Amino acid sequence: MVNMETIDWSECPLVEVKPGVQSGSPVLRGTRMPVNAIVDNFDYGLSAAEIAEQFEIAPEQVKAILTYAKSHRLAHPAR
């Protein structure tokens, strides 16, 4: 499972962070859809198509978020 702190969303054009939307969590631009829900559902085994259908968003957006997340995961902090 991916923790949101392990992905740097700052350079993803599909993601925005607004203090008044989802408590400032990264969301799909123009929506209230937390991007961590997309990544977490994929990590739990859902396909991009299933996620797109479940959350009623374009499959291309889901694929783009997953591609970005995969290439921008940060190392897990030492515990």
Question: If you count DSSP H runs as helices and E runs as strands, how many of each does the chain have, helices first?
Answer: 3, 2
Q: Specify the pLDDT at position 6.
A: 75
**19-77 per-position pLDDT tens digit:** 999 999 999 999 999 999 999 999 999 999 999 999 999 999 999 999 999 988 775 54
Tell me the two tokens of residue 72: 């921008």
Is the pLDDT score of 10 beyond 50? yes
Name residue 56's amino acid.
E
Q: What integer is the mean pLDDT of 1-5?
A: 45
| Class of the domain covering 4-71 | mainly alpha
So where are the chain's domains? 4-71
